[in-house]
Copies of this chain bind each other. A is one copy, B any other.
């Protein structure tokens, strides 16, 4: 949907067709322009950026990579930076500041006017995972006794600097949130009606110190365009808009994907992430898991000589370990996502555990029965494996059943325990569960084998 390619842009710049460039870019979407600028050499961006009308310039700036933003700020005069910052929304400015080195942050803050600087510092005070950190302070407030006509005057006045005008917040004199009214309601109402009559008093809101993921989930669950954020005294201090909620939800679920796969989350898209960064994000977990697999190895080593005596048992180890691992991760991923989406909480601990026990029992029995059949038909009849005695078949099948039950309970319990200890449940997915389940399944296997199979060899 871009009206111009980066090659065309470069060629036009070469020929100094600046008016034509301004014309072309003014028709483009800010996100597409930011994309174009990413594709041309950074030292050539500044002159092109200066061609943009100031409102568009600020919209484009917000969408660029932090690296390019920083390079541009370096090129800007103090006056240019002031003009840019003046056009930015407070929450976007905060997002930019959080990615910049200290000297750049100082210049940005110095360029902001005092009121904006105060708002920026206010938002920066909130922890990064709180509702306060993702809110913006630019919104429309109305008073209860205003008429619809007066409300529109106010909207026209503060509208240009507000991130959304479509939901307006009705506040008391001491900034307490009394209700919300939408522009749709105002537009469809009689001009003489009062805002107080039109507003909805039962407002869905969030506290500044609430978790940002919960805040974003609330926006999704209630299908809102924006959610007001208040302090503990119910004084309105900001709003979170649906586009920011969408980004939070995407970021949080990508973080969960990474953690479950044993990767430290990175903020850059995969294709832009360097090989070194990928290595740094992945290798610690691989090392940790490799070291933890030493325990499993130690269990096998302790049983090594008995296994050597009854070699048929060795071949079933991978299947038992894999099935245990898979059963565990099925449960842990279900529980981790249910926690993330707010479907369950730590209060449901025993309900979840009992559910997983029953699912585990059903799955375990099914697998054990199928395995018994498979061993009988394939290992015994088809391959004529004489070593695969009835005792071996029973040992493997029983281990399978117990392992699945234990794996499902461990897999569901650990994320809940992590949540209860205020840790991130997703971290529990890969490393701890697989090691624990592997070890348990081997202990069950060797225990049963010692009882059922090995006596026949001595």
Contacts and interface: CB of A to CB of B under 8 A. Distances in A.
The 5 closest A-B pairs by CB, nearest first: A261-B333, A293-B319, A270-B338, A301-B315, A269-B343
Interface of A: 1, 3, 27-29, 31, 152, 155-156, 159-160, 165-166, 183-184, 187-188, 201-202, 204-205, 219-225, 242-243, 245-247, 249-250, 253-254, 256-258, 260-263, 269-271, 275-276, 278-279, 282-283, 285-287, 289-291, 293-294, 296-298, 300-301, 304-305, 307-309, 311-312, 314-319, 321-323, 325-327, 329-330, 332-335, 337-338, 341, 343-344, 348, 351-352, 355, 358-359, 362-363, 366-367, 370-371, 374, 378, 400, 404, 430, 434, 438, 442
B344 A261 contact: no
B271 A293 contact: no
Nearest to A345: B271
Contacts of A325: 325
A304 B314 contact: yes
28 contacts: A29-B202, A166-B183, A224-B243, A242-B242, A242-B243, A246-B246, A246-B249, A253-B253, A261-B329, A261-B333, A262-B330, A270-B334, A270-B335, A271-B343, A279-B359, A282-B359, A283-B362, A285-B330, A286-B326, A286-B367, A290-B322, A293-B318, A300-B314, A301-B314, A304-B315, A317-B317, A321-B322, A326-B430
Contacts of A3: 202
A247 to B, nearest CB: 7
A378 B294 contact: yes
A246 B247 contact: no
Given A257-B337, A270-B337, 9 more contacts: A31-B221, A165-B187, A260-B260, A269-B341, A270-B335, A271-B352, A297-B315, A300-B317, A322-B434
A261 B323 contact: no
Contacts of A246: 219-220, 242, 245-246, 249
A307 to B, nearest CB: 6
Nearest to A27: B202
A201 B325 CA distance: 54
Name A's interface SS: helix
B367 A283 contact: yes
A297 B320 CA distance: 10
A263 B319 contact: no
Contacts of A326: 262, 285-286, 289, 430
Given A270-B335, A343-B269, A287 B359 contact: no
Nearest to A268: B343
Contacts of A222: 29, 31
A402 B201 CA distance: 64
Nearest to A371: B290
Contacts of A358: 275
Contacts of A318: 293, 296-297, 300, 317, 321, 438, 442
Contacts of A224: 243
Contact of A290 (B1, B297, B319): B319
Contact of A334 (B205, B263, B338): B263
A285 B330 CA distance: 10
Contact of A355 (B202, B242, B278, B289): B278
A101 to B, nearest CB: 26
Nearest to A298: B315
Given A187-B159, A222-B29, A300-B314, A271 B351 contact: yes
A160 B185 CA distance: 9
Among A204, A275, A298, max chain B CB count under 10 A is at A275
